Each structure stands twice: as C-alpha cells, then as structure tokens.
C-alpha cells in the first residue's frame, strides 16, 4: 500500500493490497476498501463504506455520509460500491437507513462530479450518472442506464435497463427499459437505439422493442389495454417480458408518451 503520511486512516480500517491513499484523505474506522483502489486527496471515506476492487475516488468525494433523512436515528448501515467504479470530484454517496440498510452502487459505474446518490438507492452495473445529477432516496437504477447531467430524480422512482435520460430532466415517474426520455415535462421520446446497438442488440431485437412501444404509446390504448395487446400480439421473449414486468410492477406509473407521437 501507498498511504501518504498526511492522510488520516483509522488503524482499524481494512484496506486491501496495492491501495493508494493520497494526502489529506480521511478514512474512518468501519471501512473496507478493496485491492487496487486509489483514494485521491481530500476524499472522505466514512463509517459504513464498503468499496470494491480497483475503484477510484476523486478529490472531495464523500462515501457513506450520514443520510439526509430525518427518520435516520444513527442505525448501523452501509454504502457499498462495486468493483471498477469511479466516483468523481465532490460526488456524495450516503449510506442507508433502517428502510433498507444499505445504499448500493454496482460494478463499472461512473458517478460524475457533484452528483448525489441518497440513502437506500440501488444503482446497478455499468450505470453512468452525469455531472450534478441528484438522486433522491430509495431510487432504483438498473444496468446500463445513462442519467445525463443535471437530472433530478424523485424518491422511490425506478429507472430500468438501457435507458438514456436527457440532461436537465426532472424524473417523477418510472422509466421503462430501452427508452430515450427527455423534454419538459419529461416524456417518452423513442427507444435508445444508439445505446442498444453499442451493446450488441440485433436489428430484430431493436425493431421488436420499437414495435412494442408503438403499441404502448401510439395506438390510443390505455395502459391496461396496451399491456393486454402486448401480451397477446408478441411472442414471449426477454425484451417483451422485461417491458411487461416493469410496467406491471410500477408503483409511481410510467412516463407519458410524447404529444408529437400521440
């Protein structure tokens, strides 16, 4: 390990092999940091942080800060960061509350500067959160979602896989898989074709997803009618089933369709 003598590292903190800790870092007692991590100057790693392997925490970031939730009573909780994840300058990831007990950021994620991930959020793998985005408590963001800069996400909202959110958006409804959303107020703007092609989706898969969303948003059906039509008109497959299950289990309701398309 390469630990600067100007860093403050609690002797009971557990650091893996080949960890670099730069000057003016603070690492508290109940902390676990995996092999090969780099903690940059002025980062603060607080009690309850669990950081995986080969992560990079940039200056001013705070991991496992106390939740900004008045219901928090000092219970023992964690903020868990997966492997190969980068937390940029002044980003904050709060630890959990009694609600779920932990906040999770997955593997290979990029949390850009000045972003905030609040208590009890679950951010899964390969997610990108743009600069200055603010993620409220108990939000769920699924694999490969991209949240562009300056986005505000209401608590308890769910964002599904392979979603692309326009910068500056205000998200108060659930965002179904494979979609591109933006405008103000937030609306469905099509599917995330560029992202899907980059991740190896075939033309047949892309066309199927497009067709399912035409049924949902452009045929003049309400959600119940659209779900029934999707179930009866399309053969079961991973893409169809993911869309159906997400919409059926949505508690906040899904983003509305674009007026231009309707």
Q: Does the active-site annotation cover 137?
A: yes
- Per-residue pLDDT, averaged over 130-141, amounts to 98
99 token code pair: 């609600």
Q: How confident is the model at residue 186 (pLDDT cuts 50, 70, 90)?
A: very high
pLDDT, one tens digit per residue, over 61-84 is: 999 999 999 999 999 999 999 999
DSSP-assigned letters across all residues of 28-60: -SS-EE-TT-EE-TT-EE-TTEEE-TT-EE-TT
Which listed residue (65, 130, 137, 182) is catalytic?
137
- Per-residue pLDDT, averaged over 147-164, amounts to 98
Sign of the alpha-carbon torsion through 255, 110, 135, 251: positive
pLDDT, one tens digit per residue, over 188-231 is: 999 999 999 999 999 999 999 999 999 999 999 998 999 999 99
- Per-residue pLDDT, averaged over 151-162, amounts to 98
> How far apart are alpha carbons 262 and 218 in whole angstroms?
5
| Phi-psi group of 43: left, alpha or beta (phi > 0 → left; psi -120 to 50 → alpha; rest → beta) | beta
> How far apart are alpha carbons 121 and 124 in whole angstroms?
10
Burial call 147-170: b when 16+ CB within 10 Å, e when fewer = bbbbbebebebbbbbbbbbbeebe
Q: Does the active-site annotation cover 101?
A: no
Residue 259 is predicted with a pLDDT of 47
Sign of the alpha-carbon torsion through 152, 120, 195, 108: positive
Q: How confident is the model at residue 1 (pLDDT cuts 50, 70, 90)?
A: confident
Q: Give yes or no for residue 258 having a pLDDT over 80.
A: no
> How far apart are alpha carbons 93 and 86 in whole angstroms?
12
Distances (CA, A) of 172 to 55, 76, 216, 259: 31, 30, 19, 18
Which listed residue (120, 142, 143, 174) is catalytic?
120
> How far apart are alpha carbons 62 and 42 in whole angstroms?
9
Residue 261 is predicted with a pLDDT of 46
Which listed residue (119, 130, 174, 182) is catalytic?
119
Among 133-137, 149-153, 183-187, where is mean pLDDT lowest?
183-187
- Per-residue pLDDT, averaged over 138-164, amounts to 98
Backbone angles phi, psi at 128, to 5 degrees: -115, 125
Sheet holding 179-182, edge to edge: 2-3, 20-21, 38-39, 56-57, 86-87, 110-111, 128-129, 146-147, 164-165, 179-182, 187-191
To 10 degrees, what angle do helices 223-233 and 238-248 make?
A: 160
Q: What 3-state class would DSSP assign to 223?
A: helix
* Residue 256 DSSP symbol: P
> How far apart are alpha carbons 114 and 166 in whole angstroms?
17
pLDDT, one tens digit per residue, over 224-251 is: 999 999 999 999 999 999 999 999 999 9
Supply the pTM of this predicted model.
0.95
């Amino acid at each position: 390990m390469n630990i600067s003598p100007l860093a403050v590292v609690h002797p009971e903190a557990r650091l893996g092999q080949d960890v670099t800790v730069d000057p003016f870092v603070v690492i508290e007692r109940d902390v676990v940091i995996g092999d090969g991590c780099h903690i940059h100057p002025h980062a603060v790693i607080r009690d309850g942080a669990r950081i995986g392997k080969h992560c990079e925490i940039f200056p001013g970031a705070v991991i496992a800060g106390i939740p900004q939730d008045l219901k928090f009573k000092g219970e023992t909780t964690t903020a868990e960061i997966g492997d190969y994840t980068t937390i940029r300058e002044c980003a904050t990831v709060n630890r959990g509350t009694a609600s779920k007990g932990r906040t999770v950021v997955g593997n290979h994620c990029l949390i850009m500067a000045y972003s905030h991930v609040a208590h009890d959020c679950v951010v899964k793998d390969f997610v990108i959160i743009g600069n200055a985005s603010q993620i409220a408590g108990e939000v769920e963001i699924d694999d490969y979602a991209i949240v562009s800069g300056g986005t505000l996400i209401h608590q308890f909202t769910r964002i599904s896989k392979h979603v692309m959110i326009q910068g500056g958006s205000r998200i108060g409804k659930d965002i179904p898989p494979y979609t591109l959303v933006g405008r103000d107020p937030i609306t469905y703007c099509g599917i995330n074709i560029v992202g899907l092609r980059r991740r190896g989706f075939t033309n047949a898969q892309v066309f199927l997803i497009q067709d399912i969303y035409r049924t949902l948003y452009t045929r003049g059906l309400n959600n119940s009618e659209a779900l029934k039509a999707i179930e009866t008109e399309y053969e079961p497959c991973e893409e169809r089933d993911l869309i159906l299950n997400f919409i059926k289990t949505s508690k906040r309701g899904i983003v509305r369709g674009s007026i231009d398309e309707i």
